[in-house]
Each structure stands twice: as structure tokens, then as C-alpha cells.
Amino acid sequence: MVWSGPPRVGVLLLAALVLGGCLRPDGESNRPAAPQVTSPDEKSEQPVAGAKVADHRADAVAKTTRLNPEPPGLHNVFRVSAQVYSGSEPQGREAFDSLVAMGVNTIVSVDGARPQVDLARERGLRYVHIPIGYDGLPERARLALASVMRESDGPVYIHCHHGKHRGPAAAAVACRAAGQLDAAAAEELLRLAGTSRDYHGLYRDVREFVPPAPDQPLPELVEVAQVDSLVSGMAELGRYFDELKLCREARWEIPAEHPDLVPRGIARLVQEGLHELGRTADLSAYTGEFRSLLQASDETAERLCQALAGSDLEVMEREFSKLEKSCGRCHAEWRDR
């Protein structure tokens, strides 16, 4: 800075600044350096061991950031807001140690598998189980997630199996319930997490979610929820397959009479339904032949999904026919007898 006033006045002003603590004698500022801000676009954030944010509801609209490197035992982890993390199912004791280091005190599973409540209890963590499917978040689940946010006084970790589809959608709804994400930021979380656009119901329910009123009664939260049986899971799978037939009759286009049936999305729901039954259902009363048929059907449905993505009509028809035969065989040998 060039001082244009009388020299004596300039000297007196400089002395006042030094005595007041604003300048050091060498003329450098004594003001604290501006904090270094990491851009959210860099997608990296280091968890602070044991750190908790004083007021988690104070950050109204947040920017989603990905934790890099990933905490031990956890994958696809995002810090969605100051209060909410989204990621994969915790794997082993080290994963629960990571959650403690991240300051988490509540874990929410939206997966169908039974939560590892014992490992959580050992570390004083609360587990909440709100299982959902790939076709969307039913109203009760949305309200339960709002209840989690209403009751929690610290960071929450929300997970599905891999942390890509159902978990991020549930985290988005939870944050919208608490006013921590707007609709655009919620959909951006799904994009960053890799949530497939084939799961139209997840995107729809995140986008159209309306937070409950402050005085609205909310569901009671449970540690381990009762998950649908194999019979009810098969019934739901049958409904998806009937919808897939309608798509095939429309030459793998959206049926004119059913504009909500997108072939790729319905095929993915069939595939995930088969996969989740094999992963979470109690098959102890069924033979190895049944389990092998279930796995083969899962693989066939996956090839059908890939054919639909590549618009390969010949492969679509071949894999659909295989899937239809395996479903018919399953019904004849196990369901219908």
C-alpha cells in the first residue's frame, strides 16, 4: 500500500497498528490465516476420530463427499451431511471400530439380512433395522427414517449390502426429512453413489419425498425387523415377472397401456429379487437342487439385463425363454405341489 499523506501522520498510524496487534513490526498482518477449504468436488474427506458435530441439524443443505481412503471394513462411504453417512454393510470388527472413530452412534440397515447387533452393542452403538426393496421406499420405511433423524443426537450410518442403491436412497430420504438436503442434492447423492437408473422407484421416492409434520406420529424403531418369508418373496417376484412378460409382448418397449413399466427397470427388479432370495431367505428346508436353480435363474436374469442395456434382441429373447422355463420348473416342483 502507498501512503500519500504527510510522513509524520503515516508513522503515527503505523505505530498505532503495531501497538494494537494488527501488524507485526515487520509490517506483516497478525490476523489468523484463512482456513483451507477442500472443494466437495474432490470427493475426499478424512474421518476425524471421535469427532462429533455440535449441532447436526444446523447445516441445512449439504454437499455430499466421499471418504477416501475408505475406513477399514467399510466401502462406498459418503458423508451426506454433518449428521449422516451412507455406505456398505460393516464387514468384521474393524468396520465397527471405524464407525466409532467416525463418531457414529446409530447404525441403520435397510438390507434384508439380519444386522450384526452383537458387534454394535459391544461398542455402545445402536442398530435400527428398516429393510426395503429395490422398487422403492414404502411409506412406513420413509417415516421410520424420519424417526431415526428425530431421535438421533449424533452421527448416523445408513447402509444396505454394497452401499450403492438402497442405502444411498434411504440416506437421501433421511436427510430430506431433517432438512439437510434438497431434492436436487438428494438425487446427486444417488448419482455419486452409483445408484442404477434402472431402480426408478428409488429415484422417484427420493425426489417426491415430503417430510412428515413435526407433530406426526412416527413408527417405533426396532433393532431386528421381521423380514418377508421366501413364500412372500416369491410372490413379489412373480408379480415382477408378469410385468416383464408385458414388456416382452411390447417388443421390449414400454407397453402403451403401462407407461410405468420400463423393461430395463423391471428386468433388474426380477434379477435383484432372485439374488436377494438366495442371499437372505432361509433355504434350509430346500434341496441343493432348488438353490442351484435359484442361482442359475439369477445369472440368466443378469444376462437378460445386459442384453436389454445393449439392445440385443436375439439375446433378450433367448435369456427370457430360459428364465421363463426355470420359473415354470420351480413352480411345478416346489411351489405348486
The one-letter amino acid code at 176 reads R
Examine the pLDDT at 50 and tell me if it is beyond 70. no
Residue with cell 435359484: 294
Report yes or no: 277 and 233 within 8 Å, Cβ to Cβ.
Answer: yes
Ordered structural domains, the chain, with CATH: 1-30 (no CATH), 42-207 (3.90.190.10), 230-335 (1.20.120)
Maximum separation of any 2 CA atoms in the chain, in Å:
106
Q: Is the dihedral of CA 325, 245, 299, 165 positive or negative?
A: negative
Q: What are 254-287's pLDDT values in tens digits?
A: 999 999 999 999 999 999 999 998 988 888 888 8
Q: Which residue has the cell 506483516?
A: 28
- Residue 233: which residues within 8 A CB-CB, separation 6 or more? 273, 276, 277, 281
- Any idea which residue has 458387534 for its cell? 119
pLDDT tens digit sequence for 280-331: 888 888 888 888 999 999 999 999 999 999 999 999 999 999 999 988 887 7
Q: How far apart are CA 198 and CA 262, in angstroms?
A: 8
- pLDDT-derived band at 62 (thresholds 50, 70, 90) equals low
Give the cell for residue 121: 452393542
**Phi, psi dihedral angles at 78 (to 5 degrees):** -125, 140
At residue 238, the pLDDT reads 86
Rounded to whole angstroms, the Cα distance separating 23 from 1 reads 14
Q: Three-class SS of residue 66?
A: strand
Q: What is the CA radius of gyration of the chain?
A: 27
The model's pTM: 0.72
- Residue matched to cell numbers 442405502: 167
Residue 143: which pLDDT band, with cuts at 50, 70 and 90? very high
User: What are the C-alpha distances in Å from 175 to residues 37, 257, 299?
Assistant: 23, 36, 35
Residue indicated by cell numbers 477449504: 37
The answer for residues whose C-beta is within 8 angstroms of residue 23's C-beta and 6 or more apart is 14, 17, 29, 30
C-alpha cell at 48: 476425524
| 3-state secondary structure (DSSP) of residue 156 | strand
Q: Which residues contact 223 (CB under 8 A, 6 or more apart)?
A: 115, 117, 126, 127, 128, 129
Residue identified by cell 402403451 is 256
Residue 99: C-alpha distances to residues 7, 103, 123, 225, 296 (Å) = 62, 6, 10, 22, 36
- Cβ atoms 271, 279 nearer than 8 A: no
pLDDT one-digit tens code per residue, 87-120: 999 999 999 999 999 999 999 999 988 999 999 9
Nearest to 108 by CA among 125, 133, 91: 125
Sign of the Cα torsion 170, 272, 220, 124 reads negative
The answer to whether residue 239 scores a pLDDT higher than 90 is: no
Beta bridge partners of 84: 156
Task: Give pLDDT, residue 181.
Answer: 94
Whether 221 and 158 have beta carbons less than 8 Å apart is answered as: no
Task: Looking at mean pLDDT, say which of 32-36, 112-116, 221-225 comes out highest.
Answer: 221-225
